Structure 1
Amino acid sequence: MKDIKFNIGCEDIEELINGGAYYVDKTAYLKNILMSSSEVKNSLFIRPRRFGKTLNLSMIKEFCKLNYQNPADKTYQQKLFIDNGRSLAVAGEDYSEFRDKVMGEFPVISISFKTVEGSCFQRAVSQLLYKFGMIYDEFDFLSKSSKQDPDDIETYRANKKFCKNQKDELYEPQNLSKAISIISTAIPQIGAMLYQEFGRKVIVIIDEYDVPLQKAVIAEEPYYSKMLEIIRTISGNTFKKDNQPWLYKSVVSGCLRIAHQSVFTDANNFTTYGMGDEPYTGFFGFTQDETGKLLEDCELSDKSSEVKEWYDGYRFGKQHIFCPWSLISYCNQALHSDNDKPQPFWINTSGNDLITMFTKNSMEAHDAGNLSKLQQLLDGERVNITLEEFTTYPDIHDRVSFDVFMTLMLHTGYVTYTEDSDSSGEVTIRIPNQEVLSCFRAKQKFLYGENNPYWFNQAMTLVDLLLENKELQAQELITSMLMSFLSVRNTRSEFYYHGFMTGVLGFACSAKGVEFHEEIEKGSGFPDVVLKKVSTDTVTVLEFKKGNNDRLARIDSANYATAQIIEQKYAEPFLKEGYSKVYGIGIGFGGKDCVVKSLGNMAKKK
């Protein structure tokens, strides 16, 4: 098997190329992005996490970046993109004129908001200030240049010093205000100085613009409106229509398409490219051809069907796109270990918390509609939604609608468009592949276990109700839990309901110190479940039956269950043992509902 080097998680094109790692060539897109018409001055690319946004933006930066010490020198780009033995698209003869005009010709201001977060607003601003401080460090030569206005140099030095010395002192209001001012104006200030220094327009790159907004929503002390104002001000000052002539083009990336009026206020010629927008549908992620070549290079072509099942399924425009993070991780595993079985590589990221929160909120609200639609997706079915344009980042704590949540999931890569669906307005979605399905199922397992306090408390309450013979309250609670339980659509078999009840009661009884027995031989047969609490001298015998999905059928099933308890003498052994409270309860199930019937305290009837 071939010895191919993979640099998993590498987001720096120079490190990847010079390190000899495998690279799927995306340089063919450079010409469109950087030489497109003046109508597309600023580009916003919306793609899911782990689809190569940062690496592609690194490619743009390194290809264009001017040698600030020797502006005529392009040997860095020549070595990185042309003379590397890889035959990249941009090295071709048809790109010769493009290279002359663009390669190594522009000052580049590049910043990533990927790690900007904090439990409170001040900490998030501190993270932003740190990142802008790095930009001031990068272009410090401007503060020593005779071409610059002395007032601009003074401001530059003061801002750089503040970024370094005050980023941890933002609890003081005057420092916080100053920090926000610097963050809001740093890019246009430095951009104008670079234009003055070199007489060349500047390229601005902002990676993951929406991460600070997402983190602001889910923070311990949410601060969304304050962070939105900062991002909006950065955008307005950098991309405004009446800007100075220092800006050539900008490229911005993110996961979520937030309405222009909310973030990109007064933006000049701003064009958003979503997952269905040409000509960039293949710019992020791996196309089918790129995936086929990767597997061939790794001598893994015989695994293509498994790879497709696990990592394909995304539809960007008319193209099938594979998740690059997962595909590279799989190939690396298959080549450098004994394990060539696909597995999830993409799930341990923050987006999964959104699934947990939405499902938990729907459970607490008893929103059977939301939960039923989630189950449809889990069953491999298609679901229709109306895409929502976000004027603010959705606050998942507020029990957002299913359409809002699924639009968010579409942007973050958890669902995708079906083959025959439009990509705007009314659309049809599905879970793309086995990897994402495993993520949903992992969250489902968590939500219905003891680690979820809401679900666990319901199960604990149900044990008490059954041991206290409170049949109507138990009926209401079981029905509520059935409504919430995502696998409820699998209602064809009595074994399903049996598994549901034993699963719920089993872990709750263990926590409460209640004896739990499943299908033990008692009397003339086997009752489905027996609960025994010695401290209160109580036994509850449970029998489950399934009927059709209507009330009369459920009543008949419950009566049939109680009759079986009597006929098979399930309670006799406990009555002989002298328990003072022995309850016989039959439960008739059908669809998402149940009927609970009790025989009362059979010890008193003896």
Structure 2
Amino acid sequence: MKEMMTVKQASEEWGIFDSRITKLCREGKIPGAVKKGKSWEIPKGTPRPEDHRFKKQPKNETNHLKKLPLPIGISEYRVASTEYYYIDKTMMIKDFLDERPMVSLFTRPRRFGKTLNMDMLKTFFEKCDEDTSIYFQDREIWRYGEYYQGYQGKYPVIFVSFKDIKFESWEQTFEMLKTVIGNEFERHSELADSAKCGEMDKKCYRDIVERQADIISLSGAFAVLSRMLYQHHGEKAVIIIDEYDVPIQQGHSKGFYDKVVDFMRNLFSGGLKDNPALAYGFLTGILRVAKESIFSGLNNLKIYSILDSKYSTYFGFTKEDVRVLTKYYNVEDKYDEICEWYDGFRFGDTDIFNPWSVINYFTDNCLPRTYWLSTGSNSIIGEMLEAADEDIFENLRALLNGDSFLTYVDTSVIYPEIKRNPSTIYSFLLVAGYLKTDHVGLSTDGDYMCTVSLPNKEIRFVYNKEILRKYDNVIAPSSAISIQQAIYANDSADLQRQLRKLLLQSASYFDTVGEVFFQGLFLGLCALFDDQYYVSSNRESGEGRFDIQLMPKHNSQPGILIELKAGKKYTADQLNDLAQAALYQINELKYDTEMKTHGVTAIYKYGVAFSGKNVAVCIE
């Protein structure tokens, strides 16, 4: 008997994708190829097939195959796994089949591969005319044998994604829900005239396909469609709902939260709760959203958040993934830079990189930028600033200075809690990807006490931009740019002019908004000075407490001390004297002690006095 080789072995020998070789075998274009179970075997020594779809190995100095592109914005598993460089996440399927919870919810930040993973599950489980096993035969899951292979192509699948349902009103949102759900009904056209389905269900099917369903009928859509699929195919249905909470977040932002939550509760309950036609259910989103709010009575739901170790390696890139990428693209010297900009997320016990930013970094000739910033709304930071009190401002300053703090994390938080209970903002920031956990401990009520900090340099830029945008009526973009230019140019005279201009521009705000504005100004300074300074206030140094200190992170930059004083109905001369007194206090009480201890030699000192909307600034 002739010795045979596997498809994978042929792929390595010929330089052709495994899935393409399998397709050629099915089409009879590889002589002697035989099918064994769901896999193909090929006689050893078979010459490489000549086919116009396959490029021959390029002749170049290194004799390497042309590098595959990375899948930017590709959410279809078939395409990503065959035409692009795909980091194998198929072991997620094995982990699921080993445990098989009835309904699984995966919560991760945006752009961490949720949609691609859900499409992978759809492609694996869905029963269809195409032999979709070809998309898995060269993947990790296939190596684990017939038990796992037996689930491939077994079930009818319902797949909907709510990621693009972002509208201004509930009426527009409901129309789009009709379209998204209607499209999925149309995809299962075999049900329209199925003799195995009841007439009432077929009437409901037609109404939804024709976009004529009312809110009651549409809220029962998953129950009806899964029942019809079960009756027609003789197998229970898998229901996959991607980005389930996008319409809910939009409802919170635009004022129709209660309406969208009521609809979603009924939609999910019909499809996922006590549904005899359900095989398994999968959902993804950013937030868990409290069970009593959306998943009322859904006692078969298993939640996998960013604090859970299960499935922690399947969303985003691991350190090993990134090291392999740098080696594949011959940029191993860039690994440390990628870590600085895009590493730092912590899912369960796994260190995770932002995959969207990493693949854009590689595609953009390894130029570090804030790629994640432009992929969605950062309004959550704006809401945090609107609801901020002194403690929140202090914690934000700590974050921007590179510090961490301990906070309670509520895993069942809902959107309205942001304004009712501002402290929940840290829970939102954590699950949305704006914070990372340095340490996780359990609280007395079963939730978590976490030490949190900023994940990386990219997220710092997100904070800086949103904070400066919030305070751009005080710190104008032109002022911000001028101050930053003065710092980077090490132009002491210009820096003094720009800081004095900033303080003069801020005079009326000090008079009208009081202490909260001080906090906002300090926070704006943190954002303004980026990673050049540690900004702090009301801390001991020398023989007293300074008002504002900007400690340089590099001693080549000047240190900055600002002492503030205020009086009522002061004349111009009195105000100048008060500013001089503030400057005298900096020197008399030796506020520069801490800076000098750290080796800072150039220190700018500002005495600032306010009276109503008038201001005087003395500089040394």
TM-score normalised to structure 1 length: 0.71
Residue of structure 2 equivalent to 1:203: 238
- Separation in structure 2 between the aligned mates of residue 437 and residue 182 of structure 1, nearest angstrom: 46
Residue 97 of structure 1 is matched in structure 2 by 147
1:332 aligned partner: 363
Shift of 1:307: 0.6
For residues 147-187 of structure 1, the C-alpha deviation after alignment (integer angstroms, 9 at most, x for no partner) is 222332233223322x1xx5xxxxxxxxxxx5312321111
- 1:49 corresponds in structure 2 to 110
Q: 1:16 maps to which residue?
A: 80
The C-alpha deviation readout for 1:102-147, integer Å capped at 9, x for no partner, is 1001000011111123211111111111111101211122111222
Whichever residue aligns with residue 25 of structure 1, its letter is D
Q: How does 1:140-159 map to 2 (within 5 A)?
A: 140-159=189-208
Aligned residue number for residue 431 of structure 2 = 411
Change (3 A) 1:275 1:553: same
User: Quick one: distance in 2 between partners of 1:546 and 1:50?
Assistant: 53
Q: Paired residue for 1:112?
A: 161
User: Contact 2:230 / 2:236 at 8 angstroms: preserved in 1?
Assistant: yes
Correspondences of 1:67-216 after superposition (within 5 Å): 67=128, 70=129, 76-82=131-137, 87-92=138-143, 94-100=144-150, 102-161=151-210, 163=211, 166=212, 178-216=213-251
SS in 2 for 1:209: coil
The one-letter code of the counterpart of 1:439 is: V
Which residue in the other structure is 1:515 paired with? none
Matched, 1:482 2:532: no
Report the CA distance between 1:90 and its aligned residue. Answer: 1.7
1:133-532 aligned within 5 A: 133-161=182-210, 163=211, 166=212, 178-219=213-254, 222-241=255-274, 243=275, 245-334=276-365, 340-362=366-388, 367-390=389-412, 392-394=414-416, 396=418, 398=419, 400-401=421-422, 403-419=423-439, 424-450=447-473, 480-485=516-521, 486=523, 487=525, 489-490=535-536
2-structure distance, mates of 1:23, 1:309: 23
Would the alpha carbon gap of residues 588 and 290 (structure 1) be closer, same or farther in structure 2, given more than 3 Å must change?
same
Instruction: Check whether the contact 2:222–2:268 (CA below 8 A) recurs between aligned residues.
Output: no
Q: What's the counterpart of residue 58 of structure 1?
A: 119
Task: Choose the corresponding residue for 2:89, options 2, 18, 26.
Answer: 26
Aligned equivalents of 2:614, 2:315: Cα separation in 1: 64
C-alpha separation between the residues in 2 aligned to 1:113 and 1:278?
26
Report deviation, 1:556: 8.5
The verdict on how the C-alpha distance between 1:399 and 1:452 changes in structure 2, with shifts beyond 3 A counting, is farther
Equivalent position SS for 1:444: helix
Letter in 1 for 2:261: L
Alpha-carbon contact 1:142-1:193 (below 8 Å) kept: yes
Indicate the RMSD between aligned Cα atoms, in angstroms.
3.8
Change (3 A) 1:432 1:152: same
* Equivalent position SS for 1:196: helix
CA–CA distance in 1 between the matches of 2:354 and 2:450?
A: 22
Query: CA separation of 1:474/1:23 partners in 2, compared to 1, >3 Å: closer, same or farther?
Result: closer
Instruction: Read off the aligned partner of 2:141 and give its amino acid letter.
Output: V
- With over 3 angstroms needed to count, the CA separation of the structure-2 counterparts of 1:107 and 1:597, relative to structure 1, is closer
**Contact kept? 1:217, 1:395, Cα under 8 Å:** no
Structure 1 Cα separation of the partners of residues 109 and 118 of structure 2? 15
- How has the CA–CA distance of structure 1 residues 353 and 305 changed in structure 2, closer, same or farther, with 3 Å as cutoff? same
1:4 and 2:68 matched: yes
Amino acid in structure 2 at the alignment position of 1:41: M
- State the Cα distance separating 1:385 from its structure 2 match: 0.9
Q: TM-score under structure 2 normalisation?
A: 0.69
Residue 422 to residue 435, structure 1, CA distance change in 2 (3 Å): farther
- Conserved in 2, the CA contact under 8 Å of 1:256 and 1:411? yes
SS at match of 1:116: coil
Inter-partner Cα distance in structure 1 for 2:613 and 2:124: 76
Deviation at 1:341, TM superposition (A): 3.1
Residue by residue over 1:313-340, the C-alpha shift from the partner in whole angstroms, topping out at 9 and shown as x without a partner, is 0111211011110111111112xxxxx3
Contact 1:545 1:587 in 2 (8 A): no
Report if aligned partners of 1:110, 1:206 keep a CA contact under 8 Å in 2: yes
**Residues 415 and 429 in structure 1, CA contact (< 8 A), matched pair in contact too:** yes
| Cα distance in structure 2, aligned partners of 1:440 and 1:137 | 43
Matched position secondary structure for 1:348: helix
Secondary structure at 1:418 match in 2:
strand
Distance in 2 of aligned mates of 1:41 and 1:452: 52
Distance 1:598 1:385, change over 3 A: closer
546 and 440 in structure 1: CA distance in 2 versus 1, 3 angstrom threshold:
farther
Tell me the amino acid that sits aligned with residue 280 of structure 2. Answer: K
Note the alpha carbon deviations across 1:34-72, whole angstroms, 9 max, x for none.
Answer: 3524xx1110111111110000000000111101xx5xx
Structure 2 counterpart SS, 1:146: coil
The answer to whether the 8 Å contact 1:315/1:417 transfers is yes
What is the CA–CA distance in structure 2 between the aligned matches of 1:360 and 1:4, rounded to whole Å? 46
Query: 2-side partners of 1:251 and 1:42: how far apart?
Result: 6
Change (3 A) 1:399 1:539: farther
Mark the CA change 1:90 to 1:597 in structure 2 (over 3 Å): closer, same or farther: closer
**CA apart distance, 1:478:** 7.0
| Native 8 Å contact 2:474 2:506 kept in 1 | no
* C-alpha distance in structure 2 between counterparts of 1:385 and 1:247, whole Å: 39
Which residue identity lines up with residue 245 of structure 2 in the other structure?
D
- Once the two structures are superposed, the pairs formed by residues 555-594 of structure 1 within 5 Å of their partners are 588=607
TM superposition shift of 1:392: 3.1
Query: Residues 342 and 546 from structure 1, CA distance in 2 versus in 1: closer, same or farther, beyond 3 angstroms?
Result: farther
String of CA shifts for 1:434-492, please: whole Å, max 9, x gaps. 01011111122222323999xx9xx99996997xxx9xx96676755322220373459
Identify if the C-alpha distance between structure 1 residues 446 and 145 changes in structure 2 by more than 3 Å, giving closer, same or farther.
same
Provide the C-alpha distance between the structure 2 equivalents of 1:230 and 1:450, rounded to a whole number of angstroms. 40
Paired with 1:465 and 1:256, the residues of 2 have a C-alpha distance of: 38
> Matched residues in 1 for 2:278 and 2:170: separation?
30
Once the two structures are TM-superposed, the CA of residue 587 in structure 1 deviates from its matched residue by 8.0
SS of 1:248 mapped into structure 2: strand
CA contact (8 A) 1:47 1:284 kept: yes
1: CA distance between counterparts of 2:606 and 2:181?
64
Q: Counterpart in 2 of 1:573?
A: none
Aligned to 2:43: none
What number of residue pairs does the alignment pair up?
477
Q: Matches of 1:371 and 1:322 in 2, distance apart?
A: 28
The answer on whether the counterparts of 2:536 and 2:548 sit within 8 Å (CA) in structure 1 is: no
Runs of at least 5 residues in structure 2 that lack an aligned partner in the other structure: 1-61, 480-499, 527-534, 551-562, 564-571, 590-604
Letter in 1 for 2:88: D
Higher helix content, 1 or 2: 1
- Distance in 1 (CA, whole Å) between partners of 2:473 and 2:613 is 28
